[in-house]
Each structure stands twice: as C-alpha cells, then as structure tokens.
Amino acid sequence: MKFNFQNPPPAWSLQRPWIPVLIAALLAGCESTPSAKKPASQPATVPSSYTVTIKQIGNGDPQPAPNTMVRLVIFLVDMPPGSVSANTDFWKRADEQSVGAAEHDRLLRNGIRCGIVPQSESLFYSQFFDQRPHSLSVSHVEGSHEEAFELQMEKHFDRQDLFFFNAEDAIEGRSYERGTNQLTLSFSPAARNSHAVRISLCPVVRSERTRMEFTALNEEYETPMQEVDRIYDLGLNAEVPEGSFFVIAPSSDAQRESSIGGSFLIKPDKTEKLEQVIVIVPTFLRLDGTPMIVRDPIFK
C-alpha cells in the first residue's frame, strides 16, 4: 500500500455542500475504526442546522459542550530495521524535547523515540516513506475526549521479561507468562491551549497465569487467571499543536528485546524484525461561533 500523505482520508471542508452532512453523520456516532469504541452520546446545540454528538466521560455523565472537536488520523507503518531508529535526517526535523528533556532521555533508554513535527515538513516525511519499503494501515477516531482505545498493533508472546526505567529513573523488571502487548492511546483538549490536543500512549500487558487453590478435602487444583498490567509512568505524553503531527518510533535501545520499544514497537516477521512507526495527525473542528470553522488536515 502506497504511503501518500498527499491523499489522506477525506478532509473536512465547508466549501462543498455535501461535506457538512458527512461531518454530521460521522460525528453522530458512525464507528470510524474497529479499534475505537462506540461511546454513548448526547446532542449538543451548535450554531448551524446540523446536530453534533458529544462523547460521554467514563462515569456516564455527559461531558460539557466543548469548543473543539478533534479528529486523529493514525498511520501505522512497518519498515525494515534501522529505517527510522538510526536515521538522522528523519529526526533532525522533529522537536524531540516536546515531551520534556528528562522524559525524552528516559524514553530513549526505554527504546522509544518521539517528536512533534511542523506541517512545513510534511512533504519530506511523505517522500521518506514512499521511497522506502513499508506496509501501512490507517485509522482514525474523532470526538472531544477519548479515555483510551487500543491501537491495531497487538503482539503475542509465550514468555516475556520486561525491564524499563520508571518515573523515578529506577529500573523495574517484570516477567510474564503467555499473553499480549498492546499500546493504548487517549486524547483530550490541551488544558491551556485551545489550539492543541494532549495525546498519551500507555503500554498494556495482558498475561495469563494460574492460581493454586485447595478444596475442603485439601485437594489441589489450578485456576487460570488473566492479569492486566498498565505501565503508566512511561511518560509518553505530548501536547500537539494545530499544524503539527506526532511521530513515535523505536530508538536504538529497542534492540534490547526486554525494553519497552523492543517489546511494543518491534514486530517479528517471517525473515526479519520490523520497526513500527506511529504518525498521529490531529485535525480540529471548532464550534465556537457562527459560522462553524473547519480546519483542513495537515497532509493535503
């Protein structure tokens, strides 16, 4: 599949008479991707003839009508080893300090590299991917707020040892028996910037184990159990401003299979291990007055 930033999913535009109807239909609850859960909704008044639905927060109470609806277009790209992690030209165009200097250093040692890239560099990145072997999948999710949904990059393991640097910069180590690794993504409007969206990614390990139990006659038996381990303090959070996109990829330390990057962003293939690159492009739909202001996607 050709990676073409020049032809993303259809842009929001008020210049075409059928687009507002499509927007209303999408925001009214059409499920955008299998990975995005279908939330409950409640109508909100908008200064137009169309009805927009507002997602509900986790406790079931409707979220207050926001000034901004967000649409994230998510590109998942599989590439040969070293294509991104060891490419200087790829990273010199990204602001890697956007997650914070300390977090950036810790993420590198955990096998993850990320940065915010301005729209002006979109042509370089489009050509970068098109000129190299890759496979691509695209999904999207929209709303004013999303607590968490799983990216389509689940990895199975029979046994796994995972070591990572936590928020205190201390090494933690855990072992798991048979399960899956999954990255979950959440987003919400930035607290102090109406022109930015806060994006967070969290590694989740679902593993199986058995618990020994005894009957009243002291007979022993095993009960299968599933454990869910969320690594909250990885620190993979960023505020992505309008006119920018967020890139996440393995770092050179992802060569360690026991690192977060090695376990979550390296994909075993039939002949080699592939690097998985995530590109997240936010688009903003404003509802702050008459008329509605619709922002076009970054990649045109």
More confident position, 12 or 272? 272
What confidence tier does 31 reach under pLDDT thresholds 50, 70, 90? very low
What confidence tier does 152 reach under pLDDT thresholds 50, 70, 90? confident
Q: Which residues contact 217 (CB under 8 A, 6 or more apart)?
A: none
Region of poorest pLDDT, from 45-54, 195-204, 288-297: 45-54
More confident position, 66 or 133? 133
What pTM, to 2 d.p., does this model score?
0.72
Strand 155-165, strand 171-189: pairing: antiparallel
Q: Is the CB of residue 178 less than 8 Å from the CB of residue 227?
A: no
pLDDT for 300 equals 45
Around Cβ 143, how many Cβ atoms within 10 Å? 22
pLDDT for 140 equals 86
Structure tokens at 6: 């020049």
Q: Tell me: pLDDT of 141 over 50.
A: yes
Structure tokens at 104: 């950036």
- Residue-wise pLDDT tens digits, 176-208: 988 999 999 999 888 888 789 999 999 999 998
Listed in order, strand segments (DSSP E) in 92-217 are 112-118, 135-143, 146-150, 155-165, 171-189, 196-214
Q: Is the CB of residue 71 less than 8 Å from the CB of residue 285?
A: yes
Structure tokens at 100: 């914070």
Region of poorest pLDDT, from 120-134, 152-166, 186-200: 186-200
- Residue-wise pLDDT tens digits, 98-117: 999 999 999 999 999 999 99
- Residue-wise pLDDT tens digits, 64-101: 445 568 889 999 999 999 999 989 999 999 999 999 99
- Residue-wise pLDDT tens digits, 208-243: 876 656 666 677 756 667 889 999 889 899 999 989
pLDDT for 195 equals 83
pLDDT for 216 equals 65
Listed in order, strand segments (DSSP E) in 40-89 are 41-44, 52-55, 68-79
Region of poorest pLDDT, from 7-11, 122-126, 132-136: 7-11
State the Cα–Cα distance between residues 99 and 170, nearest whole angstrom: 19
What confidence tier does 30 reach under pLDDT thresholds 50, 70, 90? very low
Q: Tell me: pLDDT of 59 over 60.
A: no
| HSE, side-chain direction, 13 A CA sphere, residue 90 | 23
State the Cα–Cα distance between residues 193 and 242, nearest whole angstrom: 10
Q: Is the CB of residue 43 less than 8 Å from the CB of residue 53?
A: yes
Q: Is the CB of residue 259 less than 8 Å from the CB of residue 253?
A: yes
DSSP 3-state of 267:
strand
Q: Tell me: pLDDT of 260 over 80.
A: yes
Q: Which residues contact 264 (CB under 8 A, 6 or more apart)?
A: 153, 155, 181, 183, 203
Q: Tell me: pLDDT of 273 over 70.
A: yes
Q: Round the average pLDDT of the chain to a whole number and report it.
A: 76
pLDDT for 172 equals 92
Region of poorest pLDDT, from 28-32, 151-155, 270-274, 282-286: 28-32
- Residue-wise pLDDT tens digits, 1-11: 444 454 454 43
